[in-house]
Amino acid sequence: MPTQKPSCIGIDFGTTNTCVALLEGQSARVIALDKSLMYFPNRKEAFFGKNAIEQYFEREMEGRFFQSVKRLLPNSQFTGTALIGAYVKVEDLIARFLIMMMERIEKEVVSIRGVPIHMGRPARYSLDPENEALAITRFEKACKLAGFENLKFIEEPVAASRAAESFSKEEMVLVADLGGGTSDYTLYKSKPGKTPEVLSVHGAPVAGDALDSDFFQARLLEFFGSTIQYQRPFSSNVLTLPANLMRLLSKWHHHAFLREASTWNFILSLRNELVDPLQKPLLENFITLVEENLGYQLHQEVEEMKIRLSQEDQSDFSFKSYPIGIQVSVKRTEFESIITETTSTINQAALETCKRGGVSPSEVTVLQFTGGTSKVPYIRKIISQSFPNAKLVDQEVFTAVAEGLALMGLDSYS
């Protein structure tokens, strides 16, 4: 049954999950936590969140399935995609998702008209200034298309710091919000009984999804044709699959690019151009993965393996969907070696946050983790080593940002 009108609404639109919280009195109540997924089986129907996954498989994977659309915001090469006979831009897709979220909010409250909305945004969409500006413009347009009024954008790690526990003494706190698409940091000085003093905000456009992509490229590409050789008609040159295709294949949210007509026709033509016919099963694995929209399922299997390796020294990775059949054993030490470069990028963003705030890493007394990627032991280890005097604190993995966004209504509208 709908409740009374909240005094503020916090929305954390994430790469993997989206969370909504309502400010009621002096506390925030989470009302929605769902996957940032969309499925369009035809022109008349649309499904979102976990329901999108269920409907996608019930309807035998017909139509278009979208995940990680937030990652497309800073991509200047992506202008739009075909959707059941229509052309849509990334901001249109995000607006559709936000409208659905708005409808869910309205089922919980009497009315949201006039209620301030705090919308989270990453500290950095991209390290490239032009792509960063493009992402901000696109996201603002998406929110406008969704009909949001009285809207304020707030960096996600800043919101996470607002949801943090109160400290009994002054502390130098670094919030590490490590999600699926971005790693965001806020450096602030806590002041008991007063509003924290934010010193700097920074981040990197890589996080959990990048770790999955690293593993795909290191251990799975061979099952999808990374060694394939082909020869074009009337040519004596022996070629291998273009590197850019393999990079797209390793990122589930970019598989739509592979379905563009010119690219897809090239991939299909390789069936008749293989130098070694014995490599045909690898090409069919590639085609099946993209054609059957299996990227999300494969992504989930990598996620599950990553979770297991957070608790075990070794785990098996398995993915089977005819004709694809993959079974490999992975040691935690091997996985850590694979993700070393991405981990270093994430850690450097933490150090840069301190540099921008004029604070030495040794001066940080509290290192506060949130976001699903913060549970990866190697990530925690490397970042923690950079801040030797910091006490480690954990927040709610998926809801802290939304709660903080809502609680910031106490600061802005009290």
The residue-averaged pLDDT of 189-218 equals 87
Domain residue spans of the chain = 8-163+397-413, 209-338
Q: What is the model's pLDDT at position 145? A: 95
Cα–Cα distance list, 23 to 26, 196, 371, 394 (Å): 7, 19, 21, 22
pLDDT in tens, 319-330: 999 999 999 999
Q: What is the model's pLDDT at position 123? A: 83
Cα–Cα distance for residue pair 335/231, rounded to 1 Å: 35
Judge whether residue 198 has pLDDT over 70: yes
Cα–Cα distance for residue pair 5/360, rounded to 1 Å: 44
Q: Exposed (0-12), middle (13-18) or buried (19+): which is 32, by Cβ within 10 Å?
A: middle
Q: Across the strands, what pairs with 198?
A: 188
Q: Across the strands, what pairs with 314?
A: 331
Amino acid at 399: T
pLDDT in tens, 127-148: 789 999 999 999 999 999 999 8
Q: What is the model's pLDDT at position 20? A: 94
Residue-level length of the chain: 414
Judge whether residue 169 has pLDDT over 60: yes
pLDDT in tens, 225-242: 999 999 998 889 999 999
Q: What is the architecture of the domain spanning 8-163+397-413?
A: 2-Layer Sandwich (3.30)
Mean pLDDT of the chain: 90
DSSP-derived secondary structure letter, 305: H
Judge whether residue 106 has pLDDT over 90: no
Q: Across the strands, what pairs with 88?
A: 81
**CB of 401 closer than 8 Å to CB of 19:** yes
The residue-averaged pLDDT of 154-165 equals 82
120's tokens:
């989270």
* Nearest Cα to Cα of residue 178 among 157, 154, 198, 197: 157
Pairing of strands 37-40, 47-48: antiparallel
First-to-last C-alpha distance (Å) of the chain: 27
* Nearest Cα to Cα of residue 208 among 372, 69, 362: 372
Q: What is the model's pLDDT at position 130? A: 95
Q: Exposed (0-12), middle (13-18) or buried (19+): which is 150, by Cβ within 10 Å?
A: middle
Confidence grade of residue 293 (pLDDT, cut at 50, 70, 90): confident
Q: What is the model's pLDDT at position 214? A: 94
Q: Name the percent of the chain lying above pLDDT 90.
A: 57
Cα–Cα distance for residue pair 75/90, rounded to 1 Å: 10
Q: Name the percent of the chain lying above pLDDT 70.
A: 97
The residue-averaged pLDDT of 44-54 equals 89
| Integer Rg of the chain from CA | 23
Enumerate residues 6+ apart whose C-beta is below 8 A from 391: 365, 366, 367
Q: What is the model's pLDDT at position 273? A: 95
pTM score > 0.95 for this model?
A: no
Largest CA distance in the chain: 77
On the CB side of 45, how many CA atoms lie within 13 Å of its CA? 13
Q: What is the model's pLDDT at position 414? A: 44
Judge whether residue 77 has pLDDT over 80: yes
Confidence grade of residue 68 (pLDDT, cut at 50, 70, 90): confident
**CB of 343 closer than 8 Å to CB of 335:** no
Amino acid at 81: T
Cα–Cα distance for residue pair 246/225, rounded to 1 Å: 9
Confidence grade of residue 411 (pLDDT, cut at 50, 70, 90): confident
Q: What is the model's pLDDT at position 297? A: 87
Q: Exposed (0-12), middle (13-18) or buried (19+): which is 244, by Cβ within 10 Å?
A: exposed
CB atoms within 10 A of CB 303: 17
**CB of 175 closer than 8 Å to CB of 190:** no
Enumerate residues 6+ apart whose C-beta is below 8 A from 335: 215, 306, 309, 378
